Amino acid sequence: MSESAHIRVTVNGSPIECDVEPRMLLGDFLRTTLALTGTHFGCEHGVCGACTVIVNGDSTRSCLMFAVQADGGTVETVESLGTIDALHPLQEAFRTHHALQCGYCTPGMLMTALDLIRKRPLANDAEIRDGLSGNLCRCTGYQNIVIAVREAAKVIRASNL
């Protein structure tokens, strides 16, 4: 158990090099080793999507992946988006449309939505809902999340972000 593996991974643009236990989940690595506590666990078995981050360009559940599997790759977490004073347009849309309440699902929701906006046309709400269906939110009833993603997609595409 205690032997460790050496990994190199780029997290939110910063190169990280360190030793990790092979069994350490990517999510735990982010939360404990790197103190990036924006990524949350809601189930630790791949259903809720709260732990979603973007690994090598694809939204990924950080509770279903080991940190060693990210070796040589790139990871984007919620901390890579905007700042308190300069929110990312997607974050801004979540705020404007009240797409979060307790905020616990929010980082995962944002990362999934970002991946959707980057890759899918999101031509209608049904497509947005389908894309978000792997991320559970217990507070909002999804309505405002759908609206926020719809509106953010417009803004982001218009400004080519």
Residue 66 exposure: Cα atoms within 13 Å on the Cβ side: 13
Site residues (CB under 6 A) for ligand FES?
A: 41-44, 46-51, 61, 63, 100-106, 137-140
Using the rule CB under 8 A, is 60 a contact of another protein?
no
Query: Looking at 11, 26, 40, 114, which residue binds another protein (CB under 8 A)?
Result: 40
- The strand order across the sheet containing 52-55 reads 14-20, 5-11, 74-76, 52-55, 58-61
d(CA 120, CA 128): 9
Please identify, using beta-carbon distances, which residue of 138 and 157 lies nearer to ligand FES: 138
Q: Which amino acid is at 7?
A: I
Using the rule CB under 8 A, is 78 a contact of another protein?
yes
Site for another protein in 86-125 (CB under 8 A): 87, 91, 94-96, 98, 100-107, 110, 125
Using the rule CB under 8 A, is 140 a contact of another protein?
yes
- CA distances (Å), 160 to each of 4, 31, 98, 153, 157, in order? 42, 31, 24, 10, 5
Query: Contact residues for another protein (CB under 8 A)?
Result: 1-2, 21, 23-24, 28, 31-32, 35-45, 47-48, 50, 77-79, 81-85, 87, 91, 94-96, 98, 100-107, 110, 125, 128-130, 132-146
